[in-house]
Amino acid sequence: MDTKLRGDIAEQAAILHALKRGWGVLKPVGDRLPYDLAYDVEGTVIKIQVKYAWFDEPSGNYVVDNRRTKTNRRLMLREAYKQSDFDFALVYIEKLDLFYIFPVDVFISYGSEIHLVETDKRQRKPRSAKYRDAWELILQTAVSKKNCLELPVQLVQGNF
């Protein structure tokens, strides 16, 4: 299975999980934007980058590259994402049908790869553990964005 097909599978799973939560899903035309989907959560648009995690035999972990990959016929370019590129990265583990839901600042704070540990082989939980199926983070962000936009605006009369 090639990487494009894996990405499509992850994207469709992200759409299904959002629809099951009652969220709207918007899909940009083309692939020029730094995000793959947008969720409409209670009237607030949340930009989503979707990634597919592969299983790394030597480490026994699932791994995802947290860089943007652009390809043309001869060259594959990788560059770091920026804080403004999306709101959340959803990392899909197909075998387990689960997502890690990373806020953009957390996602871009890792090096070039994120290792997701799905076995109890450590004494302490990895940093990524709190983002396992953390869909509530998206809902909390949507609510807080909505509240920021709905704050009453006071007009001050003056000499204008």
Q: Among 7, 16, 6, 93, which residue's Cα sits nearest to residue 50?
A: 7
pLDDT at 146: 75
pLDDT for res 78: 81
Average pLDDT along the chain, 160 residues, taken 10 residues at a time: 89 98 95 92 96 93 87 76 96 97 96 86 79 96 78 59
20 part of a folded domain? yes
Question: Token pair for residue 4?
Answer: 């494009």
Q: For residue 154, tell me if it sits in a domain.
A: no
Range of the domain at 32: 3-149
Distances (CA, A) of 29 to 35, 36, 115: 11, 9, 31
CB atoms within 10 A of CB 140: 12
Identify the CATH number of the domain in which residue 68 sits: 3.40.1350.10
Q: Is residue 77 part of a domain?
A: yes
Query: Number of structural domains, the chain?
Result: 1
- What does pLDDT average to over the chain? 88
> Is residue 127 a part of any domain in this protein?
yes
- Name, in order, each residue with C-beta under 8 angstroms of 27's C-beta and a sequence gap of 6 or more: 15, 36, 37, 38
> 46-57 pLDDT, tens per residue?
999 999 999 999
